[in-house]
Structure 1
Amino acid sequence: MNYVLLALSWIVFYTLHSILAASKLKRILEGKWGNAYKWYRLAYTLISLLLFLGIVIQALLIPKSLLINKGDLTNYLGYMLAGFGTIIVSKSSKHYSVMRFLGFATSSKEDETLVTTGLYSKIRHPLYAGLVLIFLGYFLFAGTISATVHVACLLLYLPFGIYFEEKNLIIQFGEAYQKYKGEVPAIIPKLW
């Protein structure tokens, strides 16, 4: 039952994440809220953070049940994948303003440009790729059923998250993003 509740918590988190990030909802709220809309991003970030912390606390309270035998190899691979994922997330995040991400600064649509250099020249969603590596690394290191639920929920959400995010990006950047989408893979880089 604990694992079902954990999975349902992730479903709520990812569903709210997609709904609250939708361009259509943002346009509606901007029209209704007027000047107060400037607080939307901060509210969105706080809701996401509180839900994520709730999931972390929930996972910590679940008794540990190992799914795979832990050893030096799984620990090493887990640390390596999580470390590599963290590097990818931090390198891909350098194009974003932390203050804007948190909702303390705003920018106009003209200030935003489509980033297609660095990691973004190899994959369209390096943040997602980094998160997959972090979650997989955690699974290998922890080896628990809870860690399996975390990874499974992320992997199940990714196609939906990418779909909705790219809908927003097509609205924002139009033909430029369509062309970029046709040339660069979503998460797994081409090795040739």
Structure 2
Amino acid sequence: MFARLAILLYALVSYAVFTVSFLYALGFVGNYVVPKSIDKSIDLPIDVGGPANLGGAIVVDLLLMSLFAIQHSVMARPGFKRWWGQFLPLACQRSTYVLLSSLILLLLFWQWRPIPAPIWQTSGIAAWLLIGLHWLGWLIAFAATHMIDHFDLFGLRQAFAALRGAEISGQSFRTPLLYKIVRHPIMLGFLLAFWATPEMTAGHLLFAIANTAYILLALQFEERDLIAEFGMTYQQYRRRVPMLLPRLFTRRATDERQPPRPAGAPR
């Protein structure tokens, strides 16, 4: 029982760290955070124009995003999951993945080097529309996690199952709500949040381009794993439902099975 309680506490701490990183991400990408956001920092003299060492800023920012991408994808692959399953209990694996992802995000926020040179700037109705799309993106990403199983996705379901001594079972294949019109609504939400901004700077553009490239690449590996797991069921789902850009005017899907998890997320 002590071990089961420790697993649950570990999962709760991991989820709390994720919550902090997610809430900070809202302000970081939207430039609402003090002291550090994607374009502004009160502890670095680079709020206007650009950093003293532009090349160094680009290298640091790319390294930070690469660190997140490598961890987020490598730990999601079946081979890695088989390897660490030899010494890490199944009930802890998802929480560990969530914890490490969240800590790397917090490191990125802390060490990010803003490059505030302007690329575009809008005002009036156009600015408000972009702000609306930005927050719609975050809403879609968060809501889509609840359309599948939010607590399974972030390790809490596994920890509570371990506490009860129950077997951690898989889930059936469903396509609820947004998953009927797009295969990866969580990633679609992130793309909207990253690109929809009334003030695009060089640093923000670097962030958006790098993360878009990562999402598109990671989805290829994720879909390969899903085909291996669900076979023809997922291949039919792929043919019927687009990956990121929804087709709103199509006939209703009849397949009600489990949607894919977001790119890089281990099952």
How high is the TM-score relative to the length of structure 1? 0.85
Percent identical: 24
1:53 aligns with 2:106: yes
Alpha-carbon displacement from aligned partner over 1:167-190 (angstroms, at most 9, x marks no partner):
222233222111111111100012
The amino acid of 1:145's aligned partner reads A
Q: Which residue of the partner structure matches residue 13 of structure 1?
A: 68
Matched, 1:39 2:39: no
SS at match of 1:190: coil
Secondary structure of the residue aligned to 1:188 is: coil
Structure 1 residue 92: Cα displacement:
1.4
Offset from partner CA, 1:71-101 (integer Å, 9 cap, x none)? 3345313311112212321331113433322
Question: For residue 71 of structure 1, what is the aligned residue in structure 2?
Answer: 123
Structure 1: unaligned runs, 5 residues or longer? none
Larger Cα-atom Rg:
2
1:121-153 Cα distance to aligned partner (Å, 9 max, x none)? 11100001010001012xx23422111111101
Out of 103, 109, 119, the residue aligned to residue 155 of structure 2 is 103
Where do 1:118-129 residues align within 5 Å? Answer: 118-129=177-188
1:2 corresponds to: 57
Letter of the 1:53 counterpart: L
Note the residue ranges of structure 2 that are not aligned, 5 or more in a row: 1-55, 162-166, 250-267
Q: 1:183 to 1:80 in 2, by over 3 A?
A: same
Q: How much has 1:29 moved relative to structure 2?
A: 2.1
Check conservation: 2:182, 2:244, Cα contact below 8 A: yes
Rounded to whole Å, the distance in 2 between the matches of 1:158 and 1:164 is 10
**Pairing of 1:77-88 with structure 2 (within 5 A):** 77-88=129-140
**SS of equivalent to 2:182:** coil
Match of 1:187 among 231, 236, 244: 244
By relative contact order (CA 8 Å, sep 6+), the higher-ranking structure is 1
Work out the CA distance in 1 between the residues paired with 2:219 and 2:107.
24
> Contact 1:70–1:143 at 8 Å: present in 2 too?
no
Which string of whole-angstrom CA distances, capped at 9 and with x for unpartnered residues, describes residues 33-60 of structure 1?
A: 26x342221111111001111212233x
Query: Structure 1 residues 144 and 74 mapped into 2: Cα distance closer, same or farther (>3 Å)?
Result: farther
Structure 2 length as normaliser, TM-score? 0.63
1:135 match: 194
Say which structure is richer in helix. 1
The amino acid across from 2:179 in the alignment is Y
Go from structure 1 to structure 2 and tell me whether the alpha carbon gap of 1:109 and 1:186 turns closer, same or farther (over 3 Å shift): farther
Counterpart of 2:157 in 1: which secondary structure?
A: coil
Which residue of the partner structure matches residue 160 of structure 1?
217
Matched residues, number: 187
Separation in 2 of the partners of 1:102 and 1:92? 13
Cα shift at 1:15 = 1.8
| Aligned-CA RMSD value | 2.2
